[in-house]
Amino acid sequence: MTQMEAELGALRAAAAERLSAADGVDAVEAIRHDLLGRSGRLTALMKNLGLAPAGERPALGRLANEVRTEVQGAIDGRLAELRAGDLDERLAAEELDMSAPARSIRVGHLHPVQTLMRDLRQVFHAFGFEVFEGPEIETDAYNFELLNIPPDHPSRDLWDTLYVAEPGSIEAGDSRPAADGTILRTHTSPVQLRAMQALDAPIRVITPGRCFRYEAVDASHAFEFFQVEGLVVDRDTSLADLKGMLEEIARALYGRDVRTRFRPGYYPFTEPSVAFDIGCLVCGGDGCPACKRTGWMTILGAGMVHPVVLRNGGFDPDEFQGYAFGMGPDRMTMLRHGVSDIRLFFSADVRFGSQFAEGR
């Protein structure tokens, strides 16, 4: 055996041993570079074949090619093994257990008062009503005077009004109401007047919205609250129509067994006026803070539209009649869910709000 044959055999054995011990792709690539690279050991031996005696060159050439092919195949095979192992490990690490329960998706929902207002719109839509909205910042004229409440009218004491300050008066240390009578509306009744001025008879509208009053906050009162008012103007309307419709509204919201009652009331923009009560659903009629220990809760006031208001809205009271009503969705929501304190609706407590998921 010649020296070159011995070197080729030793290189073949060393390559097999090193490849079996290689534990990564980088290690195998290092072996490839060491043996088959431009300056590799096997490459150098093959370059020296020309120095062998002429009679030995053919056999040495065949042996060198055989070793090169074997080493190249062994390297490729080891790389394939290692890469397959890496893939198996990665797939095992990324394996998903399809039988495991999925992560729950938290779905938001409406505030319970907004849910009730949505339900009210749907119920009144069945009675042929449309939604008519107006501004939250009103003028004294629309909020009071055009509704038959002049400046010296004693009924103004019923509304604790929040007035917008005269520009510059606060900075001057002399805060006073704006000269143009700008206020935060105390009820949505001004929208009824705007509806009469904008629409032709017959009119059937509801006016949902937010209102503001300067009053103490307790279990049944808040300085910011919602109202839904309704207005019907036509040539043939009566208090009987109003009574029948409101009783159906109460049954639609609280069930067929809900107790209702009409009692005389006073509102300057309706004549005659009535208060509409339902049996307190918080205490079942026994008396509680929510119903002021009476067993009844007033959910709305109503009546026939006053002739002065009809005239201010552009209708002749000798030809047209109408009825109007206004309800408090906040208190109605308290009744629906048995909530004893209206302040809970504005507490921003997620635990409280999450109980009303039906408002999705």
The pLDDT score that the predictor gives to residue 138 is 93
Give the separation between CA 215 and CA 61, rounded to whole angstroms: 108
- Tell me which architecture the domain covering 112-359 has in CATH: 2-Layer Sandwich (3.30)
3-state class percentages of the chain: helix first, strand second, coil last, to nearest 5: 45, 20, 35
With the C-alpha atoms ordered 277, 282, 287, 289, is the resulting torsion angle positive or negative? negative
DSSP label at residue 221: B
Q: Pseudo-torsion of CA 290, 291, 296, 297, nearest 10°?
A: -60
With the C-alpha atoms ordered 149, 233, 242, 287, is the resulting torsion angle positive or negative? negative
The pLDDT score that the predictor gives to residue 270 is 93
Q: Where are the domains of the chain?
A: 3-93, 112-359
Tokens of 82: 């290692």
Give the separation between CA 14 and CA 25, rounded to whole angstroms: 18
Threshold 0.75, pTM exceeds: no
Give the separation between CA 254 and CA 179, rounded to whole angstroms: 45
The pLDDT score that the predictor gives to residue 247 is 92
The pLDDT score that the predictor gives to residue 130 is 95
* DSSP letters for 169-212: TTTTT---B-TT-EEE-SSSHHHHHHHHHH-PSSEEEEEEEEEE
pLDDT digits (tens, 9 = 90+) for 293-321: 888 888 889 999 999 999 999 999 999 99
Burial class, 171, CB count within 10 angstroms (exposed 0-12 / middle 13-18 / buried 19+): exposed
The pLDDT score that the predictor gives to residue 50 is 67
- Going by DSSP bridges, is the β-strand pair 224-234/260-265 parallel, antiparallel, or unpaired? unpaired
Average pLDDT of adjacent 10-residue blocks, the chain of 360 residues: 72 77 77 76 73 71 77 79 72 73 77 89 92 93 91 74 84 81 91 95 94 84 90 93 91 87 91 91 79 85 95 95 92 82 84 72
